[in-house]
Structure formats: structure tokens, C-alpha cells
Amino acid sequence: MRFDPRLILFFGLNALLLFLILRVNSSLSSWSIYFVMLGPMVVFPALYMRHAAFFVCTLLTGMWVDAAMPAPFGLFTTLFLIAGTGIFHWRIRFRAEHNYHPSILAHTINALAIIAITFTNGYELIGVSSFWIQFGITLIASHLALLLIAPWFFNLQRLCIHIFHLESEPESFPTS
Amino acid sequence: MAKVRLDTYRPLVALGVFIVVFWGLPAFFKSFLKVSFEEFQAPAWIASSYLDDLEGFWSRRSHSKVELIDAGQQIGRRMAFYQLLDERNQTLEAEIERLESILNLPSRREFRYEVCRVVRRDISAWWQQIIIRKGRDYEIPVGAAVIFSGGVVGRVIEVNAFSSKVDLITSPDFRIAAIFAGDERPVIYQGMPQSGFGSPVGEVHDAPQDLRTNSQTPLKLVSTRLGGTFPPGITIGHVPWLEPGSTGIFQSGEVVLDKRLHELNEVSVLIPLNTIETAGDAL
């Protein structure tokens, strides 16, 4: 099996995005604004790489996020792999060369991540009104910011592929 | 009959195998994976924290000499004041020890104060935690109390090699025994989800019926030595109103916490000089 260097590139950029977002969240803690921006991490590995490389990249990204955030370990790994496998399975339907489809996928996965966190970490708080106020702020702020961040992140990934002279076309599409 | 290409289902099969294997893994293996990944990313956070310190250093370097001299004078005055307080504190400590020895009272719990920089704040609807820049390298124990100049910050819940996680006092998982200043009867303080507007808040339960408070002169809630983790008298917050609880026997109310709690840069971990019972403080 041929090793795909884009695996390292995508994983590194995912780790960078997570680091930056957590830094921003830390700085904005007194404003009670919290951004969840996990959606864009899954999209390009699933759209661009072969299955083995996508699987390893998404597994590492999921565990990296699981270790960095105070959610139960395995939540994001499982979520990313489920969402990524879905994208991979139907990736012939998505256009990776423009940002429109990847952005919609990123928003969908991000919303799923926020719902998953709520069910695992906030289940006992569901009846508390102040929880829903902050949940609403987080959801709206995250998706508004994602409108800017997701295209920027996808362009950064494309730029890095170009800079490092890596394969810029999606691989192993079904032939029939 | 149309041919079914089995290789198109390979990703789904791989996902199924992963889910079965991962959820069947022993807990210690998952814990090992989690700690390994945490330790692997810790240097990046600690390095960014040192870079923040460096940024602060350079921003202070840009201050004029007049400003620095003025700041030095102010610090000098505060130091002289605290030296006087320290002398008075030593005299009072000696008096307390003398009286304790006369009355044969059991010894009190003593703490070592470890000042730590805050590396990261994770404050959201789901969790309220901070990460501090000291861990096993400074013998920080799990369950240790964390305080700052405004009062109680929280409790250490996880210790890594060079960093520790602290559950904030606002976290719904945080619960301690407390007393109102000037009243020895214990009550229960618990964190609660934050709305995101105004000061951070918590809630107090099991307050006696005869206690009265108002927003002009709110009751002060402080820690007690009952749990064993916190020394007595550390400020938790102020209670501007109380109302009858669900049982009708006790009162409950909202505790207004220090505004600076969600923007901390430096905290103190209280490390007991004798052994700590980690589950002792949980009610």
C-alpha cells in the first residue's frame, strides 16, 4: 500500500485549527463565547484520500480532539469516522474543487458535533434554561464564524497541497 | 441480476469493525491512549503560555521609566503594608498555637501554596475548566483546592506530567460544604450552568430558615474545613437573596461569584502538607 503524505498534511492542519480555536476560546472566556469548529476537519481527508489514508487521518484527528476537549474519550473519534465514512461513501456527489459543498458538509458535521456534545456532557442540564441560552449562543456563534473559517481552512489545505507539490486530485473514485 | 460491488462497502465494514473494537477495548487501554495524546499536545500549550509571558514582558518593557518608577513605589508601599500584616499574622498564629496546646485541640490541616499560570480556559455550556502550568513535576495532587485573590477557584481533577486540569466552582459537577460568614451551620454550595450574561453564579442549598439577606448587604458564603480540601474562611461568593427550598425546611438561593473567575491568569493550588483524601470533600 502506497503511503499518502497528504495524511500528515491534513492531520497537521487539523491540529493547527484545533489549537487556534481553543486559544480563541480561552481568550474569549470572560465573554462567555465558545466556538466549536470541528466540522472542517473531516471533509478534505474523506474527499481527497484513499480509504486507508482517510481512515488513519480521521482516527488520529478524532483522538487528538478527544484528548484536547473535556468530552468523553472516543466521542469525536467515533463521530468523525461515522461522518467521514458517510462523505467517503458518497463522495462522487461532492465537488471538492470549490468550497460550496465542503462548507455545507462542514456545517452539517459541526452541528452534529454540537448535538453529540450536548447529549454526552449536558444531558443532565437539559432542563436548565441558562444552559439553553449559552447553548444557543455557542451554536449561532460557531456557525457564523464557520462561514468565514471553513472556506479559509479549505483554501489553506489546497494551498499547502500546492506548496508541497502533492497530489491535488481526489483519489480512488468508483469507476462504475 | 445486477452485480453488487462489495468493495464499495469496505468503508462501512471498516467503520463497523472499528466501533466494535473501540467500544470493546478495556478502560485502561483507552485511558492510556487519552493520556498519551494529552501529554503529546501538552508541550504546545505550555510553549504558548511561555510565549504569552514573553509577550507580557516585552509589553512591559515598552513602559516609560517614569511609569515603572511609579509602579515600583506602589509595590514598595504594598510590601511594607503586607510586612506589617505578616508580623501580626505570625503573632496571632503563635497565640492560636499556644491556646490549642493548652486546650489539647487536634492539629489543623496545613497547606503549601503553589502559584500556577493558567494555560487555557475551557468555559462553555458543557464544561467549565482551566488548565494550569504545573503538574506532577510540582507534586500537585488530584483533589487539591485551587484559590485566587477573589476566593475559591475550584478543584484539581486531573494531573499530567507538566499540567493539571481544574474544575471551576461554576461547574455543575462542583459541590462543597460551606458556611455563611458569622454562622457556623453548614450549607451546600453547588455550581450551575452559566447563562453567559453578568457575573458567574452558583447556588446554595440547605440554608437555615432564620437567615435573612438582601442585595444591599448580601450574606458572604465562605469555605469551611468540614470537607477537608479547603481551609476555612476562603470567600466563595455573596448571596443577595434566599427563598424557601423545595422541602420547605431550608432555604436556597443564587450565589454571585467573583467577576474575574472566567478571566484568571494566575491561581494558587493548596497542597496539603499531610496526605489528602481525594473523595473526602465530595458531599
Q: Which three cell numbers stand for residue A173?
A: 473514485
B278 pLDDT more than 70: no
Per-residue model confidence (pLDDT) at position B276? 52
User: Cβ of A30 and B34 within 8 Å?
Assistant: no
Q: Over the stretch B93-152, which tens digit does the pLDDT of each residue have?
A: 999 889 988 988 877 778 889 999 999 999 988 989 999 999 999 999 999 999 999 999
Task: State the angle between helix axes of A129-163 and A100-121 in degrees (0 to 180), rounded to the nearest 10.
Answer: 140
- Sign, Cα dihedral of B150, B151, B156, B162: positive
B203 pLDDT more than 80: yes
- Sign, Cα dihedral of B16, B21, B27, B29: negative
Q: Over the stretch A97-114, which tens digit does the pLDDT of each residue have?
A: 889 999 999 999 999 999
Per-residue model confidence (pLDDT) at position B1? 53
Which of the pair, B1 or B151, is modelled with greater confidence? B151
Q: How far is A121 from chain B (nearest CA, A)?
A: 6
Question: Stretch B234-239: mean pLDDT, rounded?
Answer: 93
Most distant CA pair in chain A: distance in Å?
Answer: 54
B280 pLDDT more than 60: no
Per-residue model confidence (pLDDT) at position B6? 67
B83 pLDDT more than 80: yes
Query: pLDDT above 70 covers what percent of chain B?
Result: 94
Is residue A89 less than 8 Å (CB to CB) from chain B? yes
Write out the H or E segment, with its range, that includes residue B33: helix B27-61
Query: pLDDT above 90 covers what percent of chain B?
Result: 53
pLDDT category of residue B282 using cuts at 50, 70 and 90:
very low
Is residue B5 less than 8 Å (CB to CB) from chain A? yes
The per-residue pLDDT of chain B, averaged, comes to 88
B195 pLDDT more than 80: no
Q: Over the stretch A12-26, which tens digit does the pLDDT of each residue have?
A: 999 999 999 999 999
CB B201 within 8 A of CB B255: yes
Question: Stretch A132-148: mean pLDDT, rounded?
Answer: 93
Query: pLDDT above 70 covers what percent of chain A?
Result: 97
Per-residue model confidence (pLDDT) at position A44? 93
Is residue A88 less than 8 Å (CB to CB) from chain B? yes
pLDDT category of residue B16 using cuts at 50, 70 and 90:
very high
The 10 Å Cβ neighbour count of residue A14 is 26
* Residue of B171, B183, B167 lying closest to B229 (CA atoms): B167
Of A51, A70, A82, the CB nearest to B129: A70
Per-residue model confidence (pLDDT) at position A176? 44
Is residue A172 less than 8 Å (CB to CB) from chain B? no
Q: Indicate the SS3 state at residue B164.
A: strand
A165 pLDDT more than 90: no
Q: Which chain B residues have a beta carbon less than 8 Å from that of A67?
A: 34, 37-38, 40-41
Q: How far are the Cα atoms of A48, A49, A53, A108, B18 from residue A172, in angstroms, in the given order?
A: 9, 8, 11, 24, 22
* Residue of A44, A40, A37 lying closest to A6 (CA atoms): A44
H helix runs in chain A, sequence order: 6-27, 40-48, 51-68, 75-89, 100-121, 129-163
Per-residue model confidence (pLDDT) at position B170? 92
